[in-house]
Amino acid sequence: MIAEALHPGILFYLSGFLSLLAGLAIVNLHNRWQMDWQVIITVLGWPMTIGGIMCIVLPQVAIAIGSTIYSGRASTIVAALLTGTLGAFLSVKGYMRRA
């Protein structure tokens, strides 16, 4: 599925546009630079924005970077574990009752 997503086409440009849109929304609405866990959301917004721009403007570079990252089975597992761990952490923090 990853190999299919790394082919230039309408799906590739659509995913770049959606990444750009989500990244810009995060950067505009959640631009917090205090040193606590909320800075993770702001920091994630910038690579989403830059990645979306790269998918739209420089698709060959984005495909080369994606192919390098997902070239082996181990890197795919590491990326999935990092994404899952970060998602679980942000879910716990986001839904935790404030004291």
Residues 92 and 83: their CA atoms lie apart, in Å, by: 14
Residues 88 and 16: their CA atoms lie apart, in Å, by: 24
Residues 85 and 88: their CA atoms lie apart, in Å, by: 5
Identify the pLDDT of residue 91: 94
Identify the pLDDT of residue 26: 93
Contact 26, 48 (CB under 8 A): yes
* Block mean pLDDT (10 aa), the chain, length 99: 67 88 94 88 93 89 80 83 95 84
Identify the pLDDT of residue 66: 78
Query: What residue segments make up the domains of the chain, in order of their start?
Result: 2-71
Identify the pLDDT of residue 5: 63
Identify the pLDDT of residue 99: 59
